[in-house]
Structure 1
Amino acid sequence: MEALYDIYAEDIEYRKDVYPTDGISGIETKRVTDGFSRQMDGWEITALPVDHSIETYAYRFEEDETGESFVFSGDTQKIQSLADFAADADILVQDSNTAPVDEDQVPSDTQFVWPQYAAGDEGLDESTLTANHCDATDAGEIAQDAGVQTLVLTHLMPYRDLDAMQRDAESVFDGDVIVAEDGLRLTP
């Protein structure tokens, strides 16, 4: 946060003369570490470190009055502690970054926006992705072990076979599977 304030110092000073800066400056922050827990506005928020190439966390949000819960996983490979952390959640939003490419979705070479995501010799090394991320089957297994009601597959790479991802998750998970899309809204 301090780095952002430094970067935008001039802009923030300008805005103070034009607009109220509530919500821009003076934001209370707390560094997330292993064992993080916070009570806010009728919700308890907890964090779990997950297994990724850089420090990354999963977050559980639990509503005090109803007990409804939502777990959002950070980038991670499949780990048992995540299933334990997400136990009995209503919704698990899970990284499922690695998936087969849907060749029908890949534009011609001249239109390919992100060639590093294409299959073949020029493509991204899949071993790098699988070392740090789940696939849809992993996500489904985590959701099944956790006993969640709904699994949302997210952190989707371009041009992936979303139908295959959904089938893979459904093959190991008994609950509802949703492939995330921009603007998706869910209620437990």
Structure 2
Amino acid sequence: MAVRELVLLGTASQVPTRLRNHNGYLLRWDDEVILFDPGEGTQRQMLMAGLAVSPLRRICITHFHGDHSLGLPGILQRISLDKVPHPVTVHYPADGQEFYDRLRHATSYWDNASIVASPIAGSSWNDGPLTALPLRHSLPTYGYRLDEPSGRRMVPELLAAHGIAGPAVGELQRTGRAGDVTLEQVSVERPGQSFAFIMDTGLCDNVFALAAGVDLLVIESTFLTEDAEMAAQVGHLTAAQAGRVAREAGVRTLVLTHFSQRYPDPSRFLDEARAEFDGDIVVGADLERVPVPPRRAATAGG
């Protein structure tokens, strides 16, 4: 059975706490297993969560601040130690090539895996279902979005009404037509699922573009409104701003994370986000698992 879920490996920001590790987020999306922003301790957090490196297909780095990337050397070395048989692609801002090169071979080890460097540049980038857009931070930073294409769901009553059965159903699915009957006449559109990952940034157009209509949005909420001026100065969001993004973008489930250690009570983040957004909100905790919401209902028409 296909599994689509987010595992929160670390939810702190620059300074970890006793309860929050540095960043780390693993998305299980069928066979497309992606690790986002592995900070220090990510390898151990994966162990605590019961996750192996062998299914990883991609690693996505938003930017090269330490809390988002210092766990990369350990993950890459573990991939080699376990001799992962398939290539693992690492996406990262091209302007941070110097930092990637340092982290790629931070220490000596047997390089027994195929690690594919995939630097990102420009105002828009995509690789298959994965898209990246630049954000507004103190150094080059990208947010990521994953989209499943829409499909079609066959409707048994419509198939029967048009006399389509047996091998003709397969023909319809393969070619879009069986005799005079088209696929659109006997099926409804099945919306694809979507996911967005937005870390260190001030509010900008691309935050809303990445979040537009997604089923699951993971977004930093480093500060509370009382420190909004500081957040703007250092290129971060408040929990209220994260809630506003979710509301205006039509998000279904909002996951708040990247919390500053200056706030001991996590319920305050929920309160501020809830004042802006009345959908599902998760205040992220280390090792928590968040399922991707079920697909929206299939709809008739093109």
Match of 2:282 among 171, 178, 181: 178
| Structure 2 residue ranges without an equivalent (≥5) | 1-99, 152-190, 294-302
Q: How does 1:3-18 map to 2 (within 5 A)?
A: 3-8=102-107, 10-12=108-110
| Rg (Cα) greater in structure | 2
Secondary structure of 1:85's counterpart equals helix
- CA–CA distance in structure 2, aligned partners of residues 36 and 97 of structure 1: 26
| Matching residue of 1:60 | 145
1:128 to partner: Cα distance: 4.3
1:133 to partner: Cα distance: 0.6
| Matching residue of 2:159 | none
Question: In 2 relative to 1, CA 170–5 (structure 1 residues): closer, same or farther, beyond 3 Å?
Answer: closer
- In the alignment of these two chains, the number of paired residues is 150
1:149-188: per-residue Cα shift (whole Å, max 9, x none)? 0111110112523111101101111211111111121122
Q: How does 1:89-108 map to 2 (within 5 A)?
A: 89-99=214-224
Q: How does 1:35-74 map to 2 (within 5 A)?
A: 35-39=124-128, 44-64=129-149, 67-74=192-199
Matched, 1:137 2:235: no
Secondary structure of 1:186's counterpart equals strand
1:80 to partner: Cα distance: 3.1
Q: Which has the higher strand share?
A: 2
Q: Is the 8 A contact 2:228 2:238 kept in 1?
A: no
RMSD: 2.2
Question: In 2 relative to 1, CA 170–126 (structure 1 residues): closer, same or farther, beyond 3 Å?
Answer: closer
Q: Is the 8 A contact 1:144 1:173 kept in 2?
A: yes
1:63-119: per-residue Cα shift (whole Å, max 9, x none)? 346611110102011223311221110011111101279xxxxxxxxxxxxxxxxxx
Matched letter for residue 243 of structure 2: G
Q: Is the 8 A contact 2:213 2:250 kept in 1?
A: yes
Q: Is the 8 A contact 1:98 1:130 kept in 2?
A: no
Q: Is the 8 A contact 1:139 1:169 kept in 2?
A: yes
Q: Is the 8 A contact 1:78 1:139 kept in 2?
A: no
TM norm structure 1: 0.71
Matched, 1:27 2:115: yes
- CA–CA distance in structure 2, aligned partners of residues 182 and 69 of structure 1: 23
Matched letter for residue 140 of structure 2: E
Identity within the alignment, %: 33
Matched letter for residue 131 of structure 2: T
Question: In 2 relative to 1, CA 100–78 (structure 1 residues): closer, same or farther, beyond 3 Å?
Answer: closer
Q: Is the 8 A contact 1:80 1:142 kept in 2?
A: no
Q: How does 1:162-173 map to 2 (within 5 A)?
A: 162-173=266-277
Question: In 2 relative to 1, CA 80–4 (structure 1 residues): closer, same or farther, beyond 3 Å?
Answer: closer
Match of 2:207 among 82, 86, 91: 82
> Segments of 4+ in structure 1 off by > 6 A?
none
Q: How does 1:140-151 map to 2 (within 5 A)?
A: 140-151=243-254
- CA–CA distance in structure 2, aligned partners of residues 164 and 94 of structure 1: 16
| Structure 1 residue ranges without an equivalent (≥5) | 102-124
Q: Is the 8 A contact 1:78 1:134 kept in 2?
A: yes
1:48 to partner: Cα distance: 1.1
Q: Is the 8 A contact 1:52 1:133 kept in 2?
A: yes
Secondary structure of 2:118's counterpart equals coil
